[in-house]
């Protein structure tokens, strides 16, 4: 080696050493919400470390999935459509059948569900405790090692940050008359009156958190009993949690089974449910007769539903 080569060699070593020494450390999460986001996106919580919460609750689609049913570990199929998990803070029941009463109870269930992440909670916690990184994060935020309470708190805290309210509809409600199109304004009127939508989809998030049966149950091909599976009360057969409608434009396909691909199909269904399901059982009396919507009504109603999309997904 010439002197010049020696010099260049030395400088390169110095650069490598310096780069390693000054590599920015991973930004440690500062809050339970930040820690929850890391966990939500980390496949560490699935048995074969292949999927995370975000694999099914995809951020680009308002934290829902684009297929009728999502695939869990090993490509296993669940039986229900993945709901969007925005605007969960005010909910009083979780899952389509309301089997969890709080977000903290809800968020650990997908980890153990055999067709979702398929990882017993004790093993998930062992993994987190075995990770120097997560051990440090939990210690810094909760002052203790990962356990079922802190894991549930972190995930639930993150989900509570996913509140959305910056939509044309909200701007219109605050007095900006041009925020919604004329069609959407007419659609809102239909939503509140002849469409009867508001009878079930009310409150700021368009759900009263009740369980209702819109007719997607016939005991044969449509045989998910919904709320009945939890209460065993026959009046609950085929009832599902009324979903909120914020960001509905980006969360298709729709319904507990993902059976409707588009909002137009949903509207056509409500207009004439019998055309789609001939012998539904226990259907809500609100939907006893066809609504009699015109083509214009349907387009207006769809325009209103589109106006419920937060700026983040416009």
Q: CB under 6 A: which stretch of 17-25, 129-137, 229-237, 266-274 binds ligand HEC? A: 266-274
Q: CB under 6 A: which stretch of 130-138, 172-180, 228-236, 250-258 binds ligand HEC? A: 250-258
Cα separation, 165 vs 3, in Å, equals 66
Q: CB under 6 A: which stretch of 15-23, 90-98, 171-179, 273-281 binds ligand HEC? A: 90-98
Give 114 or 136: the residue with its C-beta nearer to ligand HEC. Answer: 114
Closest contact distance (angstroms) between CB of 256 and ligand HEC is: 3
Going 179 to 184 to 186 to 192, the CA torsion angle's sign is negative
* Cis peptide upstream of residue 253 (ω within 30 degrees of 0): yes
Kindly state whether residue 141 participates in binding ligand HEC, applying the rule CB under 6 A: no
Query: Pattern of binders to ligand HEC over 32-51, x per CB under 6 A?
Result: --------x----x-----x
Give ∠ CA 68-72-74 in degrees, rounded to 5: 125
**Spatial contact of 309 and 247, defined as CB atoms under 8 Å apart:** yes
Pick from 43, 286, 299, 313 the residue near ligand HEC by CB under 6 A: 286
Burial class (CB in 10 A: 0-12, 13-18, 19+), 310: buried
Written as six digits, the tokens of 191 are 């939503």
Kindly state whether residue 281 participates in binding ligand HEC, applying the rule CB under 6 A: no
User: Which of the residues 207 through 236 are near ligand HEC (CB under 6 A)?
Assistant: 212, 214, 216
Give 12 or 92: the residue with its C-beta nearer to ligand HEC. Answer: 92
Closest contact distance (angstroms) between CB of 21 and ligand HEC is: 36
Cα separation, 187 vs 302, in Å, equals 7
**Spatial contact of 48 and 54, defined as CB atoms under 8 Å apart:** no
């Amino acid at each position: 080696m010439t002197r010049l080569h020696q010099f260049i060699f030395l400088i390169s070593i110095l650069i490598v050493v310096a780069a390693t020494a000054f590599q920015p450390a991973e930004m440690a999460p500062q809050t339970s919400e930040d820690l929850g986001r890391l966990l939500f996106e980390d496949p560490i919580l699935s048995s074969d470390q292949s999927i995370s919460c975000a694999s099914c609750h995809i951020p680009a689609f308002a934290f829902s999935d684009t297929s009728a049913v999502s695939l869990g570990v090993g490509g296993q199929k669940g039986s229900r459509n993945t709901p969007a998990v925005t605007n969960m803070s005010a909910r009083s029941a979780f899952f389509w059948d309301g089997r969890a009463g709080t977000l903290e109870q809800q968020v650990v269930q997908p980890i153990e569900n055999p067709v979702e992440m398929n990882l017993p909670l004790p093993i998930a916690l062992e993994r987190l405790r075995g990770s120097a990184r997560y051990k440090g994060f939990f210690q810094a935020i909760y002052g203790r090692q990962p356990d079922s309470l802190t894991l549930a708190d972190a995930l639930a805290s993150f989900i509570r940050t996913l509140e959305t309210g910056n939509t044309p509809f909200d701007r219109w409600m605050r007095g900006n008359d041009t925020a919604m199109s004329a069609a959407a304004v007419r659609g809102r009127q239909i939503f509140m009156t002849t469409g009867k939508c508001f009878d079930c989809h009310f409150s700021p998030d368009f759900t009263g958190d009740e369980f209702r049966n819109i007719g997607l149950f016939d005991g044969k091909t449509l045989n998910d009993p919904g709320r009945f599976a939890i209460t065993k009360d026959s009046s609950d057969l085929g009832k599902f949690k009324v979903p909120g409608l914020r960001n509905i434009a980006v969360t298709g396909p729709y319904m507990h089974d993902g059976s409707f691909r588009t909002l137009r199909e949903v509207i056509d269904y409500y207009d004439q449910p019998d055309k789609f399901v001939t012998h539904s059982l226990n259907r809500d009396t609100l939907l006893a007769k066809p609504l009699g919507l015109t083509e214009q009504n349907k387009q207006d109603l769809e325009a209103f539903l589109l106006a419920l999309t937060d700026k983040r997904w416009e």
